[in-house]
Amino acid sequence: MPVALITGASTGIGNALAKELARRGWAVGVVARRGELLAALAEEIRAKGGKAAWAVADVTDRTAIRSAAVAIAGELGAIDLLVANAGAGDPARAHKVPVEAWIGTLRLNVDGVIYSVAAVLPEMVERRSGHLSVVSSVAGFRGLPGMAAYSGSKACITTFFESLRVDLRGRGITVTAIHPGFIATPLTAKNKAPMPFLISAEQAATIIANGLEARRSDITFPWQMKLLMGLAKRVPNWLWDRVLGRVPGV
Ligand SMILES: NC(=O)c1ccc[n+]([C@@H]2O[C@H](COP(=O)([O-])OP(=O)(O)OC[C@H]3O[C@@H](n4cnc5c(N)ncnc54)[C@H](OP(=O)(O)O)[C@@H]3O)[C@@H](O)[C@H]2O)c1
């Protein structure tokens, strides 16, 4: 039975993905800060005949996420797949100079992902087998209004994973960057701005699981958002600023 470690699985995409992978025959280790939600998720998976273990850890604490990974590997077996999914980002306009919020977002979305990778990679390198994935975002393709730290963190981690992919080529380790568009989760529930092509966490989990099982290097979805952001990358700065400057709500 292959083993997946998913961070940020107490709610949203990580939670739905844990259930989807368990349904497909994966043993799933789930990590977040809220233990009661993880315990309920593991119980739900076990009740359906699946295999699950959970551990509380803050991914910005390097020792804590490493200990969680070791504990989960001890319970379920060597970790085959990491889904570094824990992440967040509160909208904040730049003129307010929200330095603490910016740094907090970078610590979670960048440091937290790096510590999660570091928690599982040594054994993967040793075994010459494994799969690293990160839940980045289409928000990293261009700078979005009110999302400087969030867009910046996601661009950073996408590029970081691209380098990992090149570095780990030939060592038996697959590397995947996942770029969702808008997904209905607690993260987006507080959004005031429009959310085109919004899909459910369950739909997202199916798409992500399909892409991971196919060992794709990039999973960008839904297709409408992939198309839109592909075009957005080509839009000149003056037009981007004029159009995005009108987006309400942040
Ligand atoms: N929803 C979208 O539209 C969308 C689009 C693109 C990308 N994403 C990305 O998808 C990922 C999951 O987001 P979501 O939408 O599913 O939001 P969510 O429901 O708020 O889930 C975020 C998860 O991260 C965990 N988390 C937050 N801080 C943590 C920390 N310091 N240590 C450990 N776990 C922590 C939370 O659990 P605890 O609070 O229990 O720790 C929760 O399980 C994020 O990386 C997000 O940027 C989301």
Token digits of residue 69: 């990974």
Residue 213, in any domain of the structure? yes
Which residues does ligand 1 sit against, CB inside 6 Å?
7-14, 32-34, 58-60, 85-88, 108, 112, 135, 137, 180, 182-183, 185-188
The rounded distance, in Å, linking the Cα atoms of 66 and 28 is: 16
The region that residue 92 occupies, defined by phi over 0 for left and psi between -120 and 50 for alpha, beta otherwise, is beta
Strand partners, 52: 28
What sign results for the dihedral spanned by CA atoms 69, 55, 156, 234?
positive
- Count the domains in the chain: 1
In a domain, 249, yes or no: no
Query: Is 250 a domain residue?
Result: no
109 domain residue, yes or no? yes
pLDDT tens readout for residues 107-136 = 999 999 999 999 999 999 999 999 999 999
The predicted structure's pLDDT at residue 248: 67
* Residue 8 belongs to some domain of the structure: yes
- pLDDT tens string 184-218: 999 999 888 889 999 999 999 999 999 999 999 99
Question: What is the residue with the minimal CA distance to atom 44 of ligand 1?
Answer: 87
CATH number at 182 reads: 3.40.50.720
pTM score over 0.85: yes
Q: What is the mean pLDDT of residues 55-75?
A: 98
Ligand 1 atom 41: the closest Cα is on which residue?
33
Query: Is position 183 within any domain?
Result: yes
Give 143: exposed, middle or buried? Use CB within 10 Å, 0-12, 13-18, 19+. Answer: middle
Rounded-to-integer distance, Cα 103 and Cα 215, Å: 32
Alpha helical stretches, state H, the chain: 12-23, 35-47, 62-76, 99-106, 112-127, 148-167, 186-189, 201-213, 223-232, 237-244
What pLDDT sits at residue 246?
A: 83
Q: Whose CA is nearest to atom 31 of ligand 1?
A: 58
Give the model's confidence band at 247: pLDDT under 50 very low, under 70 low, under 90 confident, else very high. confident
Query: Measured between alpha carbons, how far is 150 from 132 in angstroms, rounded to an integer?
Result: 21
Residue 233: domain span: 3-244
